[in-house]
Structure 1
Amino acid sequence: MSSTRTILRRRVPGLGLARAAAAASAAALVVLAGAAPASADDVTWSLAPVGGTPNFVYAVEPGQSVDDVLVVTNPTASPIDLAVYGTDAFTTAEGQLDLLPAAQEPTGLGTWLETSASTVHVEAGSRVEVPFTLRVPDDAAPGDHAGGIVTSLATTSGDGTLTVDRRLALRVHARVAGELTPALAVTGVDVVAHGTLAPRGTVTATVTYTLTNTGNTRLVPTESVRVSGPGGSGARVVTDTLDEVLPGSAVQRTVEVTGVRPLGRATADVRVDGVAVGIGGGGATTGSGSASTWAVPWAIVAIVVLVVAAAAGAPALRDRLRRRRRPDGDPSLGAGPEPEQS
């Protein structure tokens, strides 16, 4: 049985992820470490680019090679031996940055990374420089490509049947020269209005949709979710700035909009504005979508039904009361007894 923990050191605001997987299952843990060395659980070494920059970021041409250095620091009292390799990065469905599992072969930027050695030995209280090369293919597509330089420490615990692979990584971004086409798509919009029994109460609408970065640039999206009644009445708007979404990645969004008036029909309008980030920016783009559902004021409907039912039943009730006041079969009301026969 094996377990994997990956920590992607967040050197810039809004970026970073730790990942843990035990056996066949996985659980994600966000690590918000700053530029200073930090540890998570018993991952005690730290990583940094040799030049002191936050991460590895390059503007490159197809066919170009770039040499750089990763610095590994071991502040503990014991030496460590680490595996070193490159892999691909992606944005998870939850909107967090992640790296491929250790057992999965990269197909993108991870294949462009060549480290000077597959392992590194770091003495206690010392640091080691690990040179690596980014080799851009001749046919590399224009735009942003993302990956990571990973360091890994495998240990066994218990009776030796459990192997734990702790991984610490730094991001690598490469922008290949060529036309930049920022684009995103909002699809699968759905809205559900949750009812209320309060006659004048508001309801909560749950809006779900899929946000996909369909362009070739890294995007930071800002979403605006608007829920309104017929003709735009009673509109409620929720806005939020999301974490960066990498090209080709899709994020599943769920947004709760409170204070919606149940006016019979509710329409959800989703708009997402994406701003390209990275070397030189890259422009902006917008995606949108909408959906509708019934938002019924059930308490008012129930009251109306009761009033209508009472009004409809009133004549029948009056007829029954009249029949109770007269003898059976006698069409007259208030008739006295028949006179006696002489």
Structure 2
Amino acid sequence: MPSRPRTAATGAALAAAAVLLCPAAAEARPPAPAAPSWSAAPTGPARTSFYLEGPPGTALTDRLAVRNPSGRPVTVRLAGAGGDGAGAWLALAPDRVTVPPRTRASVPFTVAVPRDAAPGSHPGTLTVTDGTPGAPTRIPLRLRVTGPTLSALTVEHLAVIRRGAAAVIRYTLVNRGNTALRPRLALRADGLFGPLLRRPARPLPGVLGPGARTDRTETWPDPPALDAVDVTLTATAAGGAQDTATARYTTAPWGAGAALLLLAAGGGGGAVRWRRRRTARAAATGGAVPDGGAVPDGGCAGPLERPGARPAGGARPAPEPARPRTAATTTTTTTAVTTGSGVRA
């Protein structure tokens, strides 16, 4: 049958093509990184991490074991990692070690705890690498600084600022202690006629480290248009940390504020004018007006006389002519008053 030889030839061609293509595909694939022939771990049996503990200002030591079971020397490099914790305080006398074949090397290192280190946990990492491609060996370094702990938290720079129909409450939280804190915040606002806002304590995002500060804001969507409000923030954290701050927030429509200012200015100006008229009339007549005495507008004041008495010279002084009355005038002034919180009323 003619179809069989053709099928056999086709199968043979495919097999030959597969044989020719497989070596090329194998050569194109990048070789997998070889596993390191050495190992690094803390000295001692069944240790997978370092644990050190001591007070501030001390030097804590430990050892790293590097094993080389291969038949050639291995050079490894050591370094600390971990931000501002134990990794940054790690001191390595030799940061590069060459281990002979089929040998184990014991490498000492020191963690110098700063004198101002806060008590508590300060983790880090000790990394070991031989410079070849591949991930380095990372060994956890757990450091605990002993000593009394202090949890202290303050609320600072509290201010309330009007933003359109809403108000923005700005404040700063400062960690004054030596332990990391997770603050909680409660908010309340009380006006002249009672409570206006109540927000129970809730946790804030993030952790506040020792000595750290963060600027935050709270939004008050519907503050009153005419009121004097005391806004109070209370921050708390574990360990008994707590602080409270209060800011006065005053709002008033423009017309009401201007009327109050005019009322105050008019009353003060009238008192000053009356006092000046009283002093001038007393000086003109040579007498004095007793304190609390009322002087009618347009009249005069002088010393009291007995009936029929005449001053020296035999002539009665001519009475002071009455001053013509003028119509009262009113001046309207619009003044913008800025409160301590930056809100204009």
Q: TM-score range by the shorter chain?
A: 0.3 to 0.5
In the superposition, the TM-score normalised over structure 1's length comes to 0.42
Greater fraction of residues in strand: 1
Write 1 or 2 for the structure with the bigger share of helix.
2
TM-score (structure 2 length as normaliser): 0.41
